[in-house]
Structure 1
Amino acid sequence: MQKLRRPVLALLMAGATLGASPAWAAEPAKPAKAENSALSGELFHLILIGELELRAENPGAAYQLLLDAARRSKEESLFRRATDIAVEARAGDQALASVQAWRLAAPKSLDALRYEVQLLIALNRAGDTTEPLKTLLGLIPPGDLAGGLLALPRTLGRGAKPETIVEVVERVVAPYQKQADPAVAAAAWVAVARARLGADRVEDSLAALNAAQLLQPQSEGAVLLALELMARAQPVAEPMVQRYLKAQSAGGGSTLNAVRLIYARGLAGQERHGEALELLQTVTREAPDLTESWLTLGALQFELRQYPESERTLQEFLSRSENSAALPQGHPATPGPDEAEGRPDPRSELRRQRSQAMMVLSQVAEKRGDLPAAEAWLDRIEEVPPLLLQSRRAALMAQRGDVDGARRLLQELPADSPEAARGKLMAEASLLRDAKRWDQADAVLQRAGELFPDDVDLLYERAMLSEKRQRYEEMESLLRKVIQLQPKHHHAYNALGYTLADRNTRLPEAQALIQRALELAPGEPYLLDSLGWVAYRMGRHQEALDALQSAYRSRPDPEIGAHLGEVLWVMGRRDEAERIWREVKQRDAANEVLKETLQRLKISL
């Protein structure tokens, strides 16, 4: 059943009272002190009749009566009530008239200004918010002003056109960009930067962000936006993050470590695992109570095949997060309005994180051959997608030798959407590929391709399967189709280039394909590995060594290590080669590339 939606106007107005920003979010309602009412009998009678009209489903009359009472008494609570009635009735013009009367009666009312701004946005009149926003900022206490400026773009962004938001924000914050207080001036520039980014003006956003950080290198608003830009594949924002970390190195507290955590995740996403690992180790050491850092570190250690370290780290996460399992005192038993608007329930988020940790711990147990322990971890999981959980159960069944039973387990999953059906087929093909049932895996992928023609992920998987079966012409045809459908699919360029290099054929073409992949994903370790490997095949050993060392530093992967060791061995640096190979063997003794390399070179470690 589709979730019911409140009217847009009411929804936006609700946002004005839900604490959306630290500077002008309405305070939660507090119990009123018992006081004698200052209302006259006549006014009390107006209010009573107004409420009765509302109960009789006559909101127009109720609004008029309560607004009349508010004008006579100048009571803010009555103006608020009249405005809310108009909002609920979706009478935007009447709601705005009520708020404007409220402002005349109480010129310094923050609530009245908040309501007016939100109403103007809801009525598609964001351009008219300049005056109330300027007034509102002028009434904010100095200590809260920076927060108020930072909140501007998000407040306006609930319904206004992006370019209108830019115009309004630039006008409103202009006086604050030259303030003596660097925190305020920097916040004004960050507000402009965020508004411009919302309008897809990335270069203009970066210019404003740079101005903010020059004024205040330790600006939290600036670094958070810089991290967001990094996540949008804007590498020019990374020096701003590094500048912040340097400015805070003397001790930035919890905010510094939260930024480090987000930055580390970004680095891991760019395959810069060595840097991410070092940063996460710093965070867990300096801020051990930041539990999410333990989860991220443990997952990264698993990715790097550091299985004992991953297990210890994730056990530490579970131990520390267990203390957070109980809700804080006074937390509502059911999601509140803010959660209904898309904010995650903290209890559900914690269960999800703990389930992620248990999923990885199950894989660690599988890697060391302890299948009962792997299954026991799966039994404890509460919140993961059913397909993911059943895929793991199926993988363990296959490990025990029951591949057909594992297939049935996946096939019995419901497929109530095209995405679910596709996911089931991909999971089954992956299971069969790992079991080296190449023909059956290919048949499943072909069936999936009939249902989802021109799906690049399916085509890529079929290409990788063709490579396993040494059907190289078929593999090349499939990869070229992927490139045709998605010209920026860097994995396809790399896979084709690496396969040519590994077969020691068409090397100039292989090099061009890999270089194209690197243009699309600069610095990615697997691409650097491919570049080093093709240089090695072409006899350019120093060039190969430079590329492979860079790749291995960033991601100490067994395949990269096997290639690096071979280049060192051929260059006569045999002690270094054996050291690298031993590292790889300790991490993944069953790695096929390592075994093939040592066997071909007739080396026994």
Structure 2
Amino acid sequence: MTLRALLTLLSTALPLAYAPFAVAQGDTVSAPAPSAAPDAASEIRVEPLRTPLDGDFVFAWLVGELALRNGQWGQALEAYERAAEAQPIPAVLDRWAQTALLAGDAVQFERILTLWQWLAPDDARLQQLAAHRERLNARFEAQISERIAEILKKDPEQRERNLLGLPAALAELGNPTQILRLIEKAVAPYRDEPAAHLIVSEAARQAGDLDRAWAAAQAAVALRPDWPPALAQLAQVALDRFAPELAIPILAPAQERQPEALTVTLALAALLAETDHPERAVALLAPWVERGVTDPRLIDALATFGAQGIEPEQCARWLLRLAKERPEARLKAAQLWLAREQPRRALRLLDPRALPDELAESAAALTAQALARLGRVDEALSRLEAHAPLSGVDAALREARLWQEAKQWEASRAVLIDALATFGDVPQLLYDYAILLERMGARDSAEGYLRKLLAMRPFDVHAINALGYLLADANRSLDEAERLLRMARALKPNDGFIMDSEGWLRFRQGDYSSARRLIEAAWRRAPDPEIGDHLVAVYQALGDEARAAAWRKRLARQFPGR
């Protein structure tokens, strides 16, 4: 057995762990064994519906029931999710949750309980399921841990490879804390192997435990000082901690000892880019460009540094040089100039004659973006239509977003109003319109549209986050904002924009230390100018004027034209 088999085991171990869990408490649906579909006569809880019975709900429920009868768990899950969105009441959530158990979908099961907790925290059935959660997880983790131990022990020659593949194999669990727990248990017998510490570091980083991540990365480097993956991990954790100075003294001599290791060079460059002299990052890459190395990682680094305002002219020239062998580097150079608010320079690089056919669609999208920023929205639409024609709602959304690229807010608003009148309350139209209204300063109207959207789609995590952030930013209804943003974080724990929203709520509440931790983590995942502004505000609130000034300078460099 190899680690590849773990992906299959993950889909089979959970139903085995949960199979004995079949509760029939009078008004609940009995959970059948995984090998059989539920009996058609299973008793369903009878509850008042939130809204009159509608066709969408009835259709989704019937599809779910038929799919269960045929053992099609995935289709049943999708159907019950649609039914729950139409009628988010405990009886529907119960059926959906039990289907997740049958499907062996731990991520979905946890998500359903989280939503249920949000919508009906006092429901007795929810409390019953939640009370069993730890026991179920323990059984599941015990089975998975046993299988992992067998794999790692059986083939010592492949142990390092299997260890390094473990985080990816476990990623589908979707719970960073659980993944860290499983990995720490799996590597316990192998503390003398650097790969064990490396994967603990990455799991801890994903779980937000940066102190644990740093200690484990240091241990990996101590055991194998010139191992590129360990050095790169150390650099990444230092960046996450906003402390590049901790890793530079380790990475710099390591890079001198092995100048041919691109991984180490790129890791050191990423650290140098965060210092007071970021130009050193670009200089470090010069030998690789001169040798004609066309590694995609080098191209990405040049594009990233240039887009951040670190030697953009030099980075663009080098990208065009590498484009002779890697045509995608030309697109990266165009993206660089778009980031620098120079759409005309981007357009000059997007001549279709200079690009292969497989890049034509990506080039058309960048061309449309550049044209829109120049105010040529009609031309931008024509370019996109030629490559990827759209109609109906999708066409309206495309046009509205291009007008926003042109900063023509009223034109975008007109398109969305017309689309809502034509197509009705389509969720994505409501969301885009609400976000546009908030950007235009019409916060009360934006709030109304977000609440309307959530009444239709109560599990829309982006709408939940947007409403929570709007309330936090307005510094009102902070208790409701807290409830919304906790839900958003539970559904998408590593989303940078959701982290920023919660961080800004903590700022409004006066908890500046928590705000700093969350917003710094948000920046690493989504380096957005508004998140950067939040960082400046937090540093000022903490009395760190030097850091606030440095970040104002950084934001001015990275986001020109603001």
TM-score with structure 1 length normalisation? 0.48
Matched, 1:438 2:439: no
Find 2:296's aligned residue among 267, 292, 298: 292
Change in CA separation of 1:152 and 1:435 when aligned onto 2, cut-off 3 Å: closer
Find 2:187's aligned residue among 208, 213, 216: 213
Matched, 1:427 2:395: no
Deviation at 1:448, TM superposition (A): 6.0
Indicate conservation of the 8 Å contact 1:166/1:199, yes or no.
Answer: no
1:494 paired residue number: 465
Change in CA separation of 1:553 and 1:430 when aligned onto 2, cut-off 3 Å: closer
Change in CA separation of 1:558 and 1:414 when aligned onto 2, cut-off 3 Å: closer
Matched, 1:358 2:340: no
Indicate conservation of the 8 Å contact 2:308/2:559, yes or no.
Answer: no
2:347 paired residue number: 375
CA distance in 2, matches of 1:161, 1:308: 46
Indicate conservation of the 8 Å contact 2:200/2:213, yes or no.
Answer: yes
Indicate conservation of the 8 Å contact 2:202/2:233, yes or no.
Answer: no
Indicate conservation of the 8 Å contact 1:213/1:240, yes or no.
Answer: no
Q: Deviations over 1:439-485 (max 9, x none)?
A: 44235445666898776544322211122343334322332344455
1:98 paired residue number: none
Q: Describe the SS at the equivalent of 1:307.
A: coil
Alignment of 1:55-204 (within 5 A): 149-150=1-2, 153=5, 162=12, 182-183=156-157
Q: Deviations over 1:259-293 (max 9, x none)?
A: 759x96xx99xx96968998998551679669233
Matched, 1:308 2:160: no
CA distance in 1, matches of 2:501, 2:297: 32
Deviation at 1:424, TM superposition (A): 4.6
Q: Deviations over 1:310-331 (max 9, x none)?
A: 6655765665686xx4xxxxxx
Q: Deviations over 1:96-125 (max 9, x none)?
A: xxxxxxxxxxxxxxxxxxxxxxxxxxxxxx
1:585 paired residue number: 556
Indicate conservation of the 8 Å contact 2:198/2:220, yes or no.
Answer: no
Indicate conservation of the 8 Å contact 1:177/1:188, yes or no.
Answer: yes
Which one is further off, 197-206 or 278-287? 197-206
Alignment of 1:389-400 (within 5 A): 389-400=363-374
Indicate conservation of the 8 Å contact 1:295/1:313, yes or no.
Answer: no
Q: Describe the SS at the equivalent of 1:590.
A: coil
Indicate conservation of the 8 Å contact 1:411/1:424, yes or no.
Answer: no
CA distance in 2, matches of 1:201, 1:367: 34
The aligned amino acid for 2:298 is W
Q: Deviations over 1:28-62 (max 9, x none)?
A: xxxxxxxxxxxxxxxxxxxxxxxxxxxxxxxxxxx
Change in CA separation of 1:173 and 1:512 when aligned onto 2, cut-off 3 Å: closer
Matched, 1:513 2:513: no
CA distance in 1, matches of 2:443, 2:473: 12
The aligned amino acid for 1:214 is A
Higher relative contact order (CA 8 A, sep 6+): 2
Change in CA separation of 1:371 and 1:214 when aligned onto 2, cut-off 3 Å: same
Find 1:471's aligned residue among 442, 466, 478: 442
Alignment of 1:251-330 (within 5 A): 251=225, 253=227, 260=233, 282-284=264-266, 291-298=295-302, 300-301=304-305, 306-309=308-311, 312=314, 316=318, 325=325
Change in CA separation of 1:274 and 1:191 when aligned onto 2, cut-off 3 Å: closer
TM-score with structure 2 length normalisation? 0.51
Indicate conservation of the 8 Å contact 2:485/2:502, yes or no.
Answer: yes
Change in CA separation of 1:454 and 1:194 when aligned onto 2, cut-off 3 Å: same
CA distance in 1, matches of 2:524, 2:422: 42
Indicate conservation of the 8 Å contact 1:552/1:561, yes or no.
Answer: yes
CA distance in 2, matches of 1:229, 1:571: 30
CA distance in 2, matches of 1:299, 1:273: 23
Indicate conservation of the 8 Å contact 1:482/1:492, yes or no.
Answer: yes
Deviation at 1:561, TM superposition (A): 4.0
CA distance in 1, matches of 2:147, 2:339: 58
Indicate conservation of the 8 Å contact 1:223/1:244, yes or no.
Answer: yes
CA distance in 2, matches of 1:367, 1:559: 15
Change in CA separation of 1:241 and 1:366 when aligned onto 2, cut-off 3 Å: same
| Larger Rg belongs to | 1
Q: Deviations over 1:309-356 (max 9, x none)?
A: 56655765665686xx4xxxxxxxxxxxxxxxxxxxxxxxxx5xx52x
CA distance in 1, matches of 2:521, 2:360: 39
The aligned amino acid for 2:405 is D
CA distance in 1, matches of 2:318, 2:370: 25
CA distance in 1, matches of 2:512, 2:178: 44
Matched, 1:461 2:435: no
The aligned amino acid for 2:309 is Y
1:32 paired residue number: none
2:59 paired residue number: none
Matched, 1:409 2:383: yes
Q: Describe the SS at the equivalent of 1:581.
A: helix
CA distance in 2, matches of 1:382, 1:294: 21
CA distance in 1, matches of 2:517, 2:172: 40
Indicate conservation of the 8 Å contact 2:454/2:460, yes or no.
Answer: yes
Indicate conservation of the 8 Å contact 1:182/1:216, yes or no.
Answer: no
CA distance in 2, matches of 1:313, 1:576: 27
Indicate conservation of the 8 Å contact 1:218/1:244, yes or no.
Answer: no
Indicate conservation of the 8 Å contact 1:297/1:310, yes or no.
Answer: no
Indicate conservation of the 8 Å contact 1:185/1:215, yes or no.
Answer: no
CA distance in 2, matches of 1:166, 1:316: 55
Matched, 1:247 2:220: yes
Deviation at 1:432, TM superposition (A): 0.8
Change in CA separation of 1:455 and 1:204 when aligned onto 2, cut-off 3 Å: same
Change in CA separation of 1:320 and 1:575 when aligned onto 2, cut-off 3 Å: closer
CA distance in 1, matches of 2:413, 2:296: 39
The aligned amino acid for 1:428 is E
Change in CA separation of 1:163 and 1:182 when aligned onto 2, cut-off 3 Å: same
User: What runs of 5+ residues in structure 2 fail to find an aligned partner?
Assistant: 18-142, 252-261, 269-284
CA distance in 2, matches of 1:544, 1:481: 29
Change in CA separation of 1:240 and 1:453 when aligned onto 2, cut-off 3 Å: farther
Indicate conservation of the 8 Å contact 1:518/1:527, yes or no.
Answer: yes
CA distance in 1, matches of 2:181, 2:535: 41
CA distance in 1, matches of 2:147, 2:443: 62
The aligned amino acid for 1:294 is L
